[in-house]
């Protein structure tokens, strides 16, 4: 095998709790993650040169070590003492810096793809250990599906899959710095934490009504304070028939969950058709590997 094509799936957080700030600056989190069928595409070719060459369809993304795909490839080659060159093509569809873990997922897909391409025989657990050096969400992006993510994101427990539904994503035309959101977060004894246990129970009983009723993200109020438009989108998402709506990760993407396909399609049309706050809109579904 001289080349391989892999998909890198986006994720949303249906629940996001922050437990504490750690002395190393990271935060201990407790999140329910869900992969989406929305994905980037990566093609990796072995070349007889010695360098890694990365090209993507987005001119503003760096093509060097600052790109998480490059970082993942360099780390994998070093860990497995492989010397040949690589030509990597990245076709991005997942919005960048949107709370959808696009970069982490690209890195995870690169690690998995290279493991297959070189038949290196690394287990998922070994790939996750390598992945967490790139970013806290990379181990989850290796696992995929519905999962509980704890610690800084490296402790993962698969959960029963989310009941079948349609997921509408609306990304407003704003950039959010994950670091700034975490730095502005104030945790004290009055903080109301999301009911992650209740969400787990709703998944076990495959109860989409209970799950969507309990969806919550502790970072949401922080990002909404900086960008009130996120709250406007959430309210409009409910108005057009979503069971519930939430910001993903540190934002700014807002998602809505719909049981009914035609209602989801109507909502997609509403947000795609000159909705003033939307930069990108996607109608997608949960992805289970
Ligand atoms: P998270 O949900 O983990 O917070 P995100 O969706 O907010 O992730 P990404 O799309 O992963 O954010 O991008 C965050 C930053 O990482 C961007 O500023 C971007 O320049 C950089 N980056 C590096 N490599 C990539 C990549 N392959 N795809 C997207 N962004 C990348």
Residue-wise DSSP of 50-97:
SSEEEEES-TTS--STTSHHHHHHHHHHHHTT---EEEEEEE--SPTT
pLDDT at position 259 is: 96
Gap from CA of 107 to ligand 1 centroid (Å): 10
- Topology, domain 3-158: Ribosomal Protein S5; domain 2 (3.30.230)
Active-site hit among 17, 40, 137, 236: 137
CB-ligand 1 contact for 67 (6 Å cutoff): yes
Q: What is the mean pLDDT of each run of 10 residues along the chain (289 residues)?
A: 94 96 91 98 94 95 96 97 95 96 98 97 96 95 97 94 97 92 88 95 98 97 95 97 97 97 97 92 97
Helix (H, G, I), strand (E, B) or coil at 200: helix
**d(Cα 272, Cα 170) in Å, to the nearest integer?**
9
Q: Is 137 a catalytic residue?
A: yes
| Maximum CA extent, the chain | 60
pLDDT at position 175 is: 87
Nearest residue (CA) to ligand 1, atom 29: 103
Gap from CA of 236 to ligand 1 centroid (Å): 27
**d(Cα 82, Cα 64) in Å, to the nearest integer?**
19
**d(Cα 252, Cα 38) in Å, to the nearest integer?**
17
Gap from CA of 201 to ligand 1 centroid (Å): 32
Among 96, 108, 169, which residue has the most ligand 1 atoms within 8 Å of its CB, making it the best to mutate? 96
Helix (H, G, I), strand (E, B) or coil at 1: coil
Domain ranges of the chain: 3-158, 166-284
CB-ligand 1 contact for 104 (6 Å cutoff): yes
Alpha-carbon separation of residue 156 from 11, 104, 214 (angstroms): 15, 15, 21
Gap from CA of 113 to ligand 1 centroid (Å): 19
pTM: predicted TM-score of the whole model, two decimal places: 0.95
Query: What are the residues facing 74 on neighbouring strands?
Result: none
Helix (H, G, I), strand (E, B) or coil at 254: strand
**d(Cα 68, Cα 18) in Å, to the nearest integer?**
24
CATH architecture of the domain formed by 166-284: 2-Layer Sandwich (3.30)
CB-ligand 1 contact for 251 (6 Å cutoff): no
Contact 200, 159 (CB under 8 A): yes
Task: DSSP for 106-128, please give it.
Answer: HHHHHHHHHHHHTT----HHHHH
Q: Is 49 a catalytic residue?
A: no
Pseudo-torsion of CA 109, 35, 289, 71, nearest 10°?
A: 10
């Amino acid at each position: 095998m001289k080349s391989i094509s892999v998909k890198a799936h986006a994720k949303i957080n249906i629940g996001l709790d922050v437990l504490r700030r750690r002395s190393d600056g990271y935060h201990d989190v407790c999140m329910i993650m869900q992969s989406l069928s929305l994905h980037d595409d990566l093609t990796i070719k072995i070349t007889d040169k010695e360098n890694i060459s990365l090209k993507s369809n987005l001119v503003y993304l760096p093509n060097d070590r600052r790109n998480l795909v490059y970082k993942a490839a360099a780390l994998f080659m070093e860990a497995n003492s492989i010397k040949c060159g690589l030509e990597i093509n990245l076709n991005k569809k997942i919005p960048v810096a949107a709370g959808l873990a696009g970069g982490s997922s690209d890195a995870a897909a690169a690690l998995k793809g290279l493991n297959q391409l070189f038949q290196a025989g690394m287990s998922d657990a070994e790939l996750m250990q390598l992945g967490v050096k790139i970013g806290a969400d990379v181990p989850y992006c290796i696992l995929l599906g519905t999962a509980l993510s704890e610690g800084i994101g490296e402790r993962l427990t698969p959960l029963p899959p989310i009941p079948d539904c349609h997921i509408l994503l609306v990304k407003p035309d704003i950039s959010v710095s994950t670091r700034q959101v975490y730095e502005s977060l104030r945790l004290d004894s009055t903080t109301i934490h999301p009911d992650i246990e209740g969400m787990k129970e709703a998944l076990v009983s495959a109860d989409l009504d209970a799950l969507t009723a309990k969806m919550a993200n502790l970072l949401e109020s922080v990002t909404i304070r900086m960008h009130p438009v996120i709250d406007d989108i959430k309210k409009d998402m409910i108005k057009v028939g979503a069971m519930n709506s939430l910001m993903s990760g540190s934002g700014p993407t807002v998602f809505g969950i719909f049981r009914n396909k035609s209602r989801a399609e109507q909502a997609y049309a509403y947000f795609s058709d000159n909705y003033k706050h939307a930069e990108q809109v996607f109608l997608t579904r949960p992805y289970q590997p």
